[in-house]
Amino acid sequence: MNLEFLSSPFAVSRETGRILGGAVIGEPPGAAVPAWPEQRVIAPLFGTNAAVFQETWLVDQPVSSGQSEGIAWRRSDDLLYGVIELDEAAFPDSTECSALQAASEEAYRRIFRLLDAQQLPHLWRAWNYMAEINRETNGLERYRQFNIGRQDAFLECHRGATGNVPAACAIGLAGAPLSIAFMAGPAPAVPLENPRQVSAYNYPSDYGPRSPTFSRGALAYLPAQELLFISGTASIVGHQTVAPGDPAGQCRESMANIAAVVTEANRKCRTGPYVLSQLSYRVYVRRADDFGMIREELTPLVGAADLVFVQADICRSDLLLEIEAFATHMLEEN
């Protein structure tokens, strides 16, 4: 099987039966809902006249589709992609457990139930979006509430919350429901960490009562293909934010972190080396005014790579940007 990642301002016109799923990023003029699971990342785009970017995961095999506890999903033999959106208002909100925490735990429990039922139990990558990620309610920042619910679900569903945890991002979008897209497969991914950073699952409690449950990246395998997921990557060294208030400095530090994860990937991968200019990037920029400076810093570092810039909030209020990336290589026949 071959998995192809397409990113373009145009809707995919190929045979929709071979689409596993995708994401629409930007401000779609209408609310057209495709037949496949699609994550809606509704936020202003920078540096393009296009209203949206359409990201699509295409496979060269027939796919089957389903709906399970509010998750829209599609799968091939070796891969499952799904999207769940939950309205926090449907969850009880109390001082012990906020509605966001409850919704986050429920979303991940449903994801793990689906993956177990489909016998593709290994979560490789998760894309997490929520409203007002930095706002404090119930005495705790909402991102930290999310972290409690997520970690509880991992532990309750026997996944463990350290070591082999998925690549991820966790991003704030204005007015969004809790939205989680995910990719999973039959075998564990190879998790990647960054020697410049404390593993997020080992962050000290200064950053919240529970550590975030994600790895810095992951190598995952299809029968003939290697996938490289680089998690949302920010200007953090050790566990501390570097260059607060300095978007150019944060951009350089984020790219130094991505370069370090790519170096780790190249130590562990089964294919030729990954290079920064051949990754597809999604760049989250907190303040519109910083976009020009961030693009100027980034362009010489990534060359002609695909870049999508979108306005979004980052999970620490002193972080001004976050960058994630993807690449794939075919495995050699032998």
What Å distances lie between residue 49 and 9, 174, 332, CA to CA? 9, 21, 39
CB closer to ligand 3EB, 220 vs 222: 220
Cβ atoms of 180 and 126 closer than 8 Å: yes
CB closer to ligand 3EB, 204 vs 303: 204
Side chain identity at residue 136, one-letter code: E
Per DSSP, the residues of 173-190 read -TTPPEEEEEEEESS--E
Contacts of 90 (CB under 8 A, 6+ apart): 103
CB closer to ligand 3EB, 36 vs 127: 127
Cβ atoms of 58 and 64 closer than 8 Å: no
Q: How far is the CB of 322 from ligand 3EB (least distance, A)?
A: 6
> Which residue in the list 38, 141, 322, 324 is annotated as catalytic?
322
- What's the burial of 93, exposed, middle or buried (CB within 10 Å: 0-12/13-18/19+)? middle
CB closer to ligand 3EB, 52 vs 180: 180
CB closer to ligand 3EB, 3 vs 168: 168
Q: How far is the CB of 265 from ligand 3EB (least distance, A)?
A: 16
Q: How far is the CB of 140 from ligand 3EB (least distance, A)?
A: 15
Q: How far is the CB of 65 from ligand 3EB (least distance, A)?
A: 27
Q: How far is the CB of 160 from ligand 3EB (least distance, A)?
A: 16
What Å distances lie between residue 251 and 41, 244, 290, CA to CA? 22, 11, 10
- Strands 52-59 and 45-46: what pairing? unpaired
- HEC secondary structure over 186-208: CCCCEEECCCCECCHHHCCHHHC
What Å distances lie between residue 238 and 102, 126, 139, 142, 200, CA to CA? 30, 23, 26, 23, 10
38 catalytic per annotation: no
Q: How far is the CB of 333 from ligand 3EB (least distance, A)?
A: 35
* C-alpha–C-alpha distance, residues 156 and 201, integer Å: 16
CB closer to ligand 3EB, 58 vs 123: 123
Residues at the interface with ligand 3EB (CB under 6 A): 128, 168-170, 200, 212, 214, 231-232, 234, 236, 315
Q: Catalytic amino acids? A: 322
